[in-house]
Amino acid sequence: MSTRVNRRTLLAFLGPSVFALLAVGVVPLAYAVWKSFYYFNLTKLSRSEFIGLDNYATVLTSGAFWGAMGRTAMLFITAVPIQIAIGLCIALVLHRPGLTLFKTLTRLALVLPMATTYAVVGLLAQVMMNQKYGVFNQMFGWIGIDPINIIGDPTNAFIGVVFWDIWQWTPFVALVLLAGLTTVPPEIEEAARLETKSNWIVLRHVQLPFLIPSLVAVLILRTADTLKLFDMPFTMTRGGPGNATEFIAVLIERIGNRQFDIGLAAAHAIIMLAITVVLARIYISLFYKDVR
């Protein structure tokens, strides 16, 4: 029996997927690249013109762009390590034998933050962190702490965004790492535990190598998510106060949807895409070589 598949069958199976990818991924991207070479403002269409790399030059020399990139990087640097640390702890607890009901309930509870719409998280945060009426300050009051101006203070507002990002995405990290822990062969883990009572040694020398692919996946996904983070800070602070929470996606939205400068917004987005791809390559080359 021949295993050769004819071209028509291949096309029939692959064609729809390739077409869908082209339609929803490649064509809009190509359009964005094309528009990034134009002055293209929706409210001044009559003045649209080809301006070459001017939009890119504007982005790369813009204090607003680098400021937003810096804040985005700071968010990533502060939130993701905490998410990985807490996520790993949760995953290790859930990986231990026993406590079946507790673990089932915990797994269910972990899904809830991820299932909450980003924009809703921002709106809830705005209410919960209100200085006078918010539940956060009410709880601070119970332990004798004076009300804190969270959303109206630049540093506190940034911390607020970090807090909610951790709240929403730690469960995701935990579930991915839990899946990674299931790839550790039980006999190897069991043998290691016979050799040592130290959980740290088992984690460092046995479990961690198997977790590298999961960690790389977490890093890539969280990097992309952080660069795209928009809904939550937008509904919570709208990038303020000042520009304390104006992350790169919030800035791009402002340029594209408030100032209607689609060409400039597209240039921002293309540069952001390039940064994401480069970071992804760096993660893969750095971490995967350990397991090759």
Residues that bind other proteins (CB under 8 A): 42-45, 130-133, 149-154, 157, 237-243, 254, 257-261
C-alpha span between 114 and 43 (Å, rounded): 37
DSSP conformation class of 4:
P
Closest approach of Cβ 34 to other proteins, in Å? Answer: 17
Q: Any alpha helices (H) in 22-62, and if so which ranges?
A: 27-35, 54-60
Residue 227 · residue 252 · CB < 8 Å = no
C-alpha span between 165 and 247 (Å, rounded): 13
Closest approach of Cβ 79 to other proteins, in Å? Answer: 21
Closest approach of Cβ 190 to other proteins, in Å? Answer: 55
Closest approach of Cβ 139 to other proteins, in Å? Answer: 18
Closer by beta carbon to other proteins, 207 or else 237:
237
Closest approach of Cβ 155 to other proteins, in Å? Answer: 11
Closer by beta carbon to other proteins, 32 or else 86:
32
Q: Which residues contact 39 (CB under 8 A, 6 or more apart)?
A: 47, 48, 49, 51, 54, 55, 263
Closest approach of Cβ 166 to other proteins, in Å? Answer: 21
Closest approach of Cβ 67 to other proteins, in Å? Answer: 10
Closest CA to 39 of 31, 49, 30: 49
Residue 193 · residue 185 · CB < 8 Å = no
Closest approach of Cβ 158 to other proteins, in Å? Answer: 13
Closer by beta carbon to other proteins, 146 or else 187:
146
Closer by beta carbon to other proteins, 172 or else 234:
234
Closer by beta carbon to other proteins, 74 or else 282:
74
Q: Which residues contact 144 (CB under 8 A, 6 or more apart)?
A: none
Two tokens at 198? Answer: 């130290």
Rg of the chain over all Cα atoms, to the nearest angstrom: 23
Which residue's entry shows tokens 């750095």?
286
Closer by beta carbon to other proteins, 92 or else 148:
148
Q: Which residues contact 205 (CB under 8 A, 6 or more apart)?
A: 192
Closer by beta carbon to other proteins, 133 or else 200:
133
- Axis crossing angle, helix 63-95 with helix 262-287, rounded to the nearest 10: 40
- Axis crossing angle, helix 63-95 with helix 154-181, rounded to the nearest 10: 40
Closer by beta carbon to other proteins, 87 or else 239:
239
